[in-house]
Amino acid sequence: MNTEEFLGWLDNKNQPFLIPSSEKPLIMGVLNVTPDSFSDGGCFLSSDKASEHALTLIEQGADILDVGGESSRPGSLPVSVDVELSRVIPVIEQIRKQSDVCISIDTYKPEVMCAAVHAGANIINDIYALRTKNALTMAAQLDVPICLMHMQGTPSKMQQNPQYSDGVVNDVTAFFKERVNACLQEGIIKERLILDPGFGFGKSVRDNLEVSTNLDKFQEFGIPILLGVSRKSTIGALLNKEIHNRLIGSIALTVYAALKGVSIIRTHDVAETNQALQMIAALGKVD
């Protein structure tokens, strides 16, 4: 999927996306250019390896590539702007030479947003939902689609006993309302927004399950929902599986999320996720 196709897709997502249907959720393939990401850290540090993996993800069915240069795993610490730029910009440039696939830049830093979009990225995927200083203004100036994610706290401390006084679903909903309004006031149109409830970001196992079972409630905004559950610790806790043995749990949650109306699935396991979503979409074609 290229930029024009993705923008057309966004423009047609004003109504809740429900499966079964003849359409399946888009797949966002994870491409971490970091030494310390929880699942694939250190695998794609060179731009050659990263671009090679990018082409593999596209072949497997990725509609979007999500390129990140700073780990947001629990306990991780931030890196400087210069370090992040040195990781992501060469990769984006190299991918862009080989493909017109839609590229998302996974960052909360306005300087990285700007450089990445100018290098060829088409989407901003921000774990802080544009709350970092100058991020909202920068995103409005760049005029590209933006994913606003909910996170309680910061990656370094977010899993230290997260609490939701009004319940996690109510708190996430209130957060989305505030951030969507902030974007609208800055001149960012609703049709360029995507919402991510932040599975695993400042949430307990129970919180993540509550978010998952209530995904359809977030559709009140009339904005596409993105979900990333791939290989996360909640799956490991429930199934007693290490990171690279969490595929079945990840696929089960992905299928459930699709049936709940999620529009974009972020995953490390693109081929398997694509097969699962194709099978569900096929059910929607049966009269």
Tokens of 254: 């992905």
Between the alpha carbon of residue 77 and those of residues 37, 80, 116, 156, 266, the distances in Å are: 11, 10, 21, 6, 22
Known catalytic residues are: 232, 266
Residue type, 201: F
How many C-beta atoms lie closer than 10 Å to residue 12's C-beta? 12
- Read off φ and ψ for residue 131, nearest 5 degrees: -95, -10
- Burial group, residue 18, by CB count within 10 angstroms (0-12, 13-18, 19+): middle
DSSP calls for 202-271: S--HHHHHHHHHTGGGGGGG-S-BEEE-TT-HHHHHHHT--GGG-HHHHHHHHHHHHHTT--EEEES-HH
Do the Cβ atoms of 1 and 23 come closer than 8 Å?
Answer: no
Contacts 24+ apart (CB under 8 A), 211-214: 211/168, 211/169, 211/172, 212/253, 212/256, 212/257, 212/260, 213/260, 214/169
Rounded to the nearest 5°, which phi and psi values hold at 19? Answer: -105, 150
CA triple 275-278-283, angle to 5 deg:
135
The H-or-E segment that residue 28 falls in is strand 26-32
